[in-house]
């Protein structure tokens, strides 16, 4: 078999992994979770969750991927050829495909909003008198008709091109260009929203903790958010880590990736809360809920700003970058699996992975209003895929990876991987091993039980 492709530079591998981690989890899930769960008190718990769950599980996935040199299933087959533990890798693979089947649709919306901002279609006819103006636009673009299917297809085609170009020329090059642009846009936004009239009220809400709101639910939500935001259990990190060169310092990489992911979520808080306090009608559930926040509240806020078009284009560009880089990483999970499993070329594997996605994405997109009959167990196909993948498959996948790495692989596996077999120092290896072996499985199992209880 040909030698495994590697990312060509340290910056490239970090940009690609950060590109996967930074997604809608940072832009829309984080602000609404923070608002619902007590502002800064949630933020503090979130930081603790990143340290005790996020980084250790990320390191379990990195170690497994780099040692296994394959894909989410192949890594385990390579390390323990005679066992059935490869089944643990199938959960991430299945979850990634389910997520891909609706996240492409969301990326399509972001593209459509970017396009409508450029052509000014989004603001066409806005007089400020109709309070439902942007909600109706959202209805037109997202939940009725076939335009969201068209934009989803455009997104799939763009992803196709990047994936066919491969790890270095496609994923790495795209991330090297788009990630700095995303950070630049964030900083420009932050400087602007922080000078808005009521900015300080928003910052206060975001940064002053209300400890009375802390409850077991808040902790579970913070754990779930850390989990989603770092792309854990999705098969992505094990797949990307197989492209890491053997001299990569895994601990530093995990700290950098989760640090940058956190910075983006934090900056989003500094953008959203002041903006919503100043022009968006205050911080409450209604204005901050995911889709409402980005597709209704924010466009309304942009109309109050000088240079509406510029801000709208910049924001939806930022959102599109976040969504597309995450999407491509999640598609790569199946692409790499198909390439290894059937020993076929990348282009063919990308076709095998993406062609059915045209169909599954159309089902998800149309299930949101155009064809309401497209539902499973009382949920639209879109929500069903989201609920089952994120609430069940992701925790089961991460749980089994922690058990596999912590208990099944040799006792010194983590230490060897983190120290590159003694070539670099890994002072935290024992702590991380403890967290992977005991703490992470307990926390993940707790999230799983709570999610299942809340679903029934």
Give Cβ neighbours of residue 373 (< 8 Å, ≥ 6 apart): none
- Please state, in angstroms and rounded to a whole number, the distance separating the CA atoms of residues 21 and 12: 14
Half-sphere exposure of 301 (CA within 13 A, CB side): 30
# of chain residues touching ligand PHE (CB under 6 A): 15
Looking at 17, 20, 225, 292, which residue binds ligand PHE (CB under 6 A)?
Answer: 20
Instruction: In angstroms, give the least distance from the CB of 262 to ligand PHE.
Output: 12
Reduce the DSSP state of residue 376 to 3 states and report it. strand
CB atoms within 10 A of CB 77: 18
Site string for ligand PHE, 301-340 (x = CB under 6 A): -------------------------xx-xx----------
User: CB 373 → ligand PHE: shortest distance, Å?
Assistant: 27
Restricting to residues 225-244, which ones interact with ligand PHE according to CB under 6 A? 228-229, 231
Helix (H, G, I), strand (E, B) or coil at 375: strand
Phi/psi at 132 (5° precision): -100, 10
Asked if 103 contacts 360 with a C-beta cutoff of 8 angstroms, the reply is no
Instruction: Tell which one of 14, 15, 21, 41 touches ligand PHE (CB under 6 A).
Output: 21
User: What is the closest distance, in whole angstroms, from the C-beta atom of residue 229 to ligand PHE in the complex?
Assistant: 5
The rounded distance, in Å, linking the Cα atoms of 66 and 43 is 32
Nearer to ligand PHE, 45 or 99 (CB): 99
Q: Which stretch binds ligand PHE (CB under 6 A): 15-23, 46-54, 357-365, 424-432?
A: 15-23
Which of 50, 57, 95, 99 is the binder for ligand PHE (CB under 6 A)? 99
Instruction: Give the residue with the Cβ less far from ligand PHE, 63 or 329.
Output: 329
Could you please report the per-residue DSSP string of 195-230? TSTTHHHHHHHHHSB-GGG--HHHHHHHHHHHHHHT
Q: Phi first, then psi: what are they for 39, rounded to 5°?
A: 60, -125
How far is residue 161 CA from its own chain's centroid?
21
Among 85, 102, 103, 133, binds ligand PHE (CB under 6 A): 103
Nearest Cα to Cα of residue 371 among 382, 363, 383, 360: 363
User: Other CB atoms closer than 10 Å to residue 306's CB: what's the count?
Assistant: 7
Q: State yes or no: residue 444 binds ligand PHE (CB under 6 A).
A: no
Nearer to ligand PHE, 20 or 287 (CB): 20
Q: Which of 13, 18, 24, 294 binds ligand PHE (CB under 6 A)?
A: 24
Q: Which of 17, 26, 253, 367 binds ligand PHE (CB under 6 A)?
A: 26
Considering the complex, state which of residue 77 and residue 172 has its C-beta at the smaller distance from ligand PHE: 172
| Shortest Cβ 182–ligand PHE spacing (Å) | 13
Rank residues 249 and 327 by Cβ distance to ligand PHE and give the closer one.
327
Nearer to ligand PHE, 117 or 225 (CB): 225
In angstroms, the Cα distances linking 27 to 2, 32, 318 are: 39, 9, 9
Rule CB under 6 A: which residues touch ligand PHE? 20-21, 23-26, 99, 103, 228-229, 231, 326-327, 329-330
């Amino acid at each position: 078999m040909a030698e495994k492709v590697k990312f060509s530079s340290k910056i490239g591998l970090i940009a690609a992994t950060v590109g996967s981690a930074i997604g809608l989890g940072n832009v829309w899930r984080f602000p609404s979770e923070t608002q619902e769960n007590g502002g800064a008190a949630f933020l503090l718990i979130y930081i603790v969750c990143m340290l005790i769950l996020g980084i250790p599980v990320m390191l379990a996935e990195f170690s497994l991927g780099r040692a296994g040199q394959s894909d989410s299933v192949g890594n385990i087959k390579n390390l323990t050829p005679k066992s059935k533990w490869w089944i643990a890798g199938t959960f991430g693979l299945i979850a990634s495909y389910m997520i891909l089947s609706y996240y492409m649709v969301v990326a399509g919306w972001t593209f459509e909003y970017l396009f409508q901002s450029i052509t000014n279609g989004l603001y066409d006819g806005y007089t400020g008198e109709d309070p439902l103006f942007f909600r109706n636009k959202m209805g037109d673009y997202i939940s009725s008709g076939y335009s969201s299917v068209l934009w989803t297809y455009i997104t799939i085609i763009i992803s196709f091109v990047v994936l066919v170009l491969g790890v270095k020329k496609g994923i790495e090059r795209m991330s090297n260009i788009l990630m700095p642009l995303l950070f630049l846009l964030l900083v420009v936004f932050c400087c602007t929203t922080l000078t808005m009239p009521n900015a300080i009220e928003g910052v206060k809400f975001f940064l002053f903790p209300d400890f009375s709101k802390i409850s077991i639910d808040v902790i579970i939500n913070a754990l779930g958010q850390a989990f989603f935001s770092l792309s854990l259990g999705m098969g992505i990190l094990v797949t990307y880590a197989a492209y890491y060169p053997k001299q990569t310092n895994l601990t530093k990489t995990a700290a950098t990736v989760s640090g940058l992911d956190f910075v983006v979520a934090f900056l989003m808080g500094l953008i959203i809360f002041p903006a919503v306090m100043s022009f968006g009608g205050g911080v409450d559930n209604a204005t901050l809920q995911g889709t409402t926040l980005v597709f209704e509240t924010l466009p309304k806020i942009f109309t109050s700003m000088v240079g509406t078009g510029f801000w709208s284009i910049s924001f939806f560009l930022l959102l599109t970058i976040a969504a597309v880089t995450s999407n491509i990483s999640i598609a790569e999970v199946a692409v790499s699996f198909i390439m290894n499993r059937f020993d076929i070329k990348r282009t063919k594997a990308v076709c095998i992975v993406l062609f059915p996605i045209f169909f599954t994405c159309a089902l998800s997109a149309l299930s949101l209003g155009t064809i309401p009959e497209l539902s499973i167990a009382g949920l639209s196909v879109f929500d069903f895929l989201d609920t089952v993948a994120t609430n069940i498959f992701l925790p089961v996948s991460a749980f089994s990876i922690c058990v596999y790495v912590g208990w099944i692989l040799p006792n010194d596996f983590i230490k060897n991987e983190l120290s590159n077999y003694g070539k670099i120092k890994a002072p935290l290896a024992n702590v991380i091993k403890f967290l992977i072996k005991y703490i992470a499985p307990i926390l993940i199992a707790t999230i799983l039980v709570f999610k299942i209880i809340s679903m029934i």
